[in-house]
Structure 1
């Protein structure tokens, strides 16, 4: 159905052409799911963009053949290519929230797409849209079509995006990281849907992802890429079960196991220049962090925390029922330990983090930090010590770092905000040393966030949090958007920092394999309530709650016997 031969993609620059993809070849049959894996910058998304004709300017195809059936994709003019996109080739992007128009109802977006490629009455287009949503597993599709994208959950929005991709019966769908930001339950639903569409409709899929567990679970064939080149390709069981290339083996080793706990994550050799571990460099920053009594590890305790949000008022006579985001949450975090918080989207994980940092005021309950009462939300003044002692590393470092400021300005902010270092030259020297401590090159201090990869930006976010001299570090999905090798580097760094400085860490994630390696204790949340809590190994080895067992069963893992 699709044949790509010797594809080369280049991007001109003032220093000469940069080769993003070099001599890439692959083929896909009807109903085949072909996985495209590799680290960030491997060229995976560039291959997909070249096939569908959405290469960012000034990028161009320097060489190669692209054949969709008997159609030469490179021979099409822009009008023919425009007509083919969405009709014979569709694309599912990583973030469904940005793929859907927030000002249009779901019905309007589906019908508009159908009418753009089909000469049929609008009523027939609407009926097809309803049938598609029902096929995607959306109940009461006729009424749900009147909703806007923000009224759907992340998994439901992804189903709508898949329906959009399918509404013209395409031959090929390119899915670019379709499950990266989804929890294991929703991810399982989306992957089952993709598998069913490939089997029943015989739609071919290119599944671009850095999650090798997902590839092992669903892909028929796989291609491993690095630095724009094809490293290894073939049947999934052959490539992942018996890898021939050293890099493929290293990539497999970097995947954290679910069935056992390891001391360190293995990092592929010849990485992007980041250090595999942080401490050991940046002596001045390390000494500065360790000095002072505030750096002694402290515990955290929550007693019967409840968080409610106002409900939606439908009329002036209707009194809305409040939405309970957290319901009677109680647990203790031991000083110097790592507490893992897991659960599906909407379980209350991020609400819990925002409550601890004072961004949300609990409706009832209490919190203590090191035995002292911890005010909540609006009752916690800006100058309260906890504002400094509790720091957070967010999921998306590109959003949490000010894109208009240089790294030096971003890092120096907590130093002058909390009055930790008053001299500007001393602040700069300390920021440079802190960059070295987290495995970054000192010259990064004069650059902007967009000049770094996702893993490097997350290291900068960790450095900024450490410069506040925290005792509590909250990590909210810090590795969900990173590939396995960069994830391994960052998790090793967090392990080293936690051990070196005795930090008390709350590690929030939907990746159970990662949580097992990082956490000493675990709290499992569902719909704002605790389903299970206890020592990490106890929860993973002998889970008591049915919900915990369900999450573990849905987590993609490497099969032990590829013949199955």
Structure 2
């Protein structure tokens, strides 16, 4: 008997512009001990299926038709109280965005212990011990001490691990994992996937794995269900679907997966338009306002230099210095990036990659060490006009585009803000024209200016972030996991866009990613970080062909591989 049986499911969202069918006639099954992979582009309806199972659809969305039979019971027949008893205890869910699914006002320990006690009959002391065990199971070191930390004190990958621990804490029979390895490096990703596989084997746990990472599907899924615009277009055994797909959409989706075995000039793109919208027109960079910032002979050969950076965070405060517990986030890090080069930073979650980027961007203040940008030492003093002008030429594209965009502003005001702040134009009319041009150039179209961030898909929001970063005419772009939350087709579009912009504007890029195939395709040189230190710095091809450090060798060996699948 199947653990879950969905029959002809329709999910409907009424809007002012008409009715949107987020899922249409979807049928799928999950057996005990089975992992079902759910793949497709952003907006295909993957997450909608998971939310419909859990009865967590955002109003005014509703299930229009179909059955959701779990352990012999149609979940659509349960009332609100009965459904609450199913969530957590019977069905656990790993949400896509750990930042918004964790309470910022409660410690990690308080949230875990509360979830455990709500789902299991345990004392607070027993629940605390289980919370420590769960954190250890998902790869968080010093678990007992980290119970006292708040979500903002964790990196993106560590928050994702906490969310996974929360989903598993109630000992459920079915897990709906919505992008569970999105922000995780390959070593922790393998640890999480091994944990899921072990639970499936030992407890006959059923898993619906929603992911854009085809490599993860190849690694763990027993069967694959491919969705496009709310419909299932292909279902079958993993080796069959990924090794010898039948549907044209599936073929193009697999072709867009970044190659780990060789470097290509461009990413293959899926022959479908994101969101069903026409791409914007391209502007001529040579004659446009944006092109005025292109590098000239006066720029130094080394655009960005970092020397002996150090930064520590306090884990446990104490009046007595000897009793304080410190975390050395960045430990004597040094590197330089040449003009027009893409320099990669890789390493496991919590290794210090994003911390280095935030120090360079002026968001964190280092304990010691220097940052030289465009030939000038920068110390984070925004009151100095000369340093402020240098800082303007460095912009950052953040990992999560939704939380880095102001939800109360239109796209016009979001992209125009850097232009207005730095007084880069002489009139508001010129500012608005430049914003419209930028939106066109990143493929959104000028009509996007009047809309708000929540009206866009994840890939479209990342394009808004890129347009905003370009608005101050930067010379250096810091890309902190810019495609980690995107499916492979949208990822290909965004990465091709960054390659085009770099070629047009001669941009220098610091590129941070846990996705090693993406690093191979994007970067000229790579530094591998572990526990705040750089353990290897070399040319990209040299790293992938013959890594010298044991940790680098381990990372390369743990990459999910598509070639594990033989066509059937």
Check whether TM > 0.5: yes
Whether the 8 Å CA contact 1:336–1:498 is kept in 2: the answer is: yes
Question: What is aligned with 1:336?
Answer: 340
Is 1:37 the counterpart of 2:48? The answer is: no
User: Paired residue for 1:378?
Assistant: 381
148-157 vs 283-292, greater mean Cα deviation: 148-157
Match of 2:54? 52
Alignment of 1:3 with 2:28, yes or no, is no
Structure 2 contact 6–67 (Cα < 8 Å) conserved: yes
In the alignment, what sits opposite 2:320?
Answer: 317
Which secondary structure does the structure 2 equivalent of 1:465 belong to?
A: helix
SS at match of 1:436: helix
1:383–1:397: structure 2 CA closer, same or farther, 3 Å change rule?
A: farther
Alignment of 1:92-171 (within 5 A): 92-102=94-104, 109-110=111-112, 112-117=114-119, 120=121, 122=123, 126=127, 129=130, 133=134, 136=137, 143=144, 147-148=148-149, 150=151, 158=160, 160-171=162-173
Q: 1:370-449 maps to which residues of 2 (within 5 A)?
A: 370=374, 372-378=375-381, 381-384=384-387, 385-449=389-453
- 2:425 alignment partner, SS class: coil
**Change in 2 beyond 3 A, CA 1:447/1:136:** same
Equivalent residue, structure 1, for 2:235: 233
1:468 aligns with 2:472: yes
Deviation at 1:255, TM superposition (A): 0.7
| 1:263 match: secondary structure | coil
Distance (Å, rounded) in 1 between the aligned partners of 2:107 and 2:88: 19
1:492 to 493, 496, 499: 496
Once residues 167 and 226 of structure 1 are traced to their aligned partners in structure 2, the CA distance between those partners, rounded to angstroms, is 33
Distance 1:305 1:193 in 2: 38
Distance 1:483 1:115, change over 3 A: same
Q: How many angstroms apart in 2 are the aligned matches of 1:245 and 1:4? A: 22
Of residues 452, 472, 492, the one that matches 2:456 is: 452
Answer with 285-294 or 164-173: which moved more.
285-294
Q: CA deviation at 1:400?
A: 2.4
CA distance in 2, matches of 1:515, 1:183: 12
CA contact (8 A) 1:253 1:266 kept: yes
Q: Paired residue for 2:307, among 291, 297, 304?
A: 304
Check conservation: 1:97, 1:149, Cα contact below 8 A.
no
Distance 1:415 1:196, change over 3 A: same
Q: Is the 8 A contact 1:276 1:489 kept in 2?
A: no
CA shift for structure 1 position 168: 4.3
Flag the 1:538–1:98 CA change in 2: closer, same or farther, 3 A: same
C-alpha separation in 1, matches of 2:337 and 2:143: 47
| SS of corresponding position for 2:335 | strand
Say which is worse superposed, 531-540 or 315-324, in terms of deviation: 315-324
Q: Distance in 2 between matches of 1:324 and 1:294?
A: 36
Structure 2 Cα separation of the partners of residues 288 and 379 of structure 1: 25
Partner Cα distance (2:386, 2:278) in 1: 36
Q: Deviations over 1:141-196 (max 9, x none)?
A: 99569645547666665555445434444321111111111222211111110000
Cα deviation, 1:452-491, whole Å, max 9, x if unaligned, reads: 2222222222222222222112111111111111110011
RMSD across aligned positions (CA): 3.0
| Deviation (angstroms), 1:342 | 1.3
Deviation by residue 1:369-427 (Cα, 9 ceiling, x = unmatched): 34x23222238725423122212222222222222222222222333333321122122
Preserved CA contact (<8 Å) 2:351 2:529: yes
Which of 219, 222, 225 lines up with 2:224 in the alignment? Answer: 222
Q: 2:29 matched to 1:27?
A: yes
Task: Say if 1:408 and 1:445, in contact at 8 Å, map to a contact too.
Answer: yes
Alpha-carbon distance in 2 for matches of 1:295, 1:74: 64
CA distance in 1, matches of 2:292, 2:109: 60
1:327 equivalent in structure 2: 331
* 1:359 positional shift: 2.7
Judge which range, 141-150 or 355-364, deviates more.
141-150
Pick aligned residue for 1:192 from 184, 191, 194: 194
**How far is 1:314 from its partner?**
4.5
Partner of 1:290: 291
Moved more, 35-44 or 8-17: 8-17
SS in 1 for 2:212: coil
Alpha-carbon distance in structure 2 between the residues aligned to 1:127 and 1:401: 36
Q: How many residues align?
A: 561
Distance 1:506-1:381 versus aligned 2 partners, 3 A rule = same
Question: Structure 1 residues 206-215 or 120-129, which shifts more?
Answer: 120-129
More moved, 494-503 vs 428-437: 428-437
- TM-score of the superposed pair, with normalisation by structure 1: 0.90
Structure 1 residue ranges without an equivalent (≥5): none
3-state SS of 1:347 partner: coil
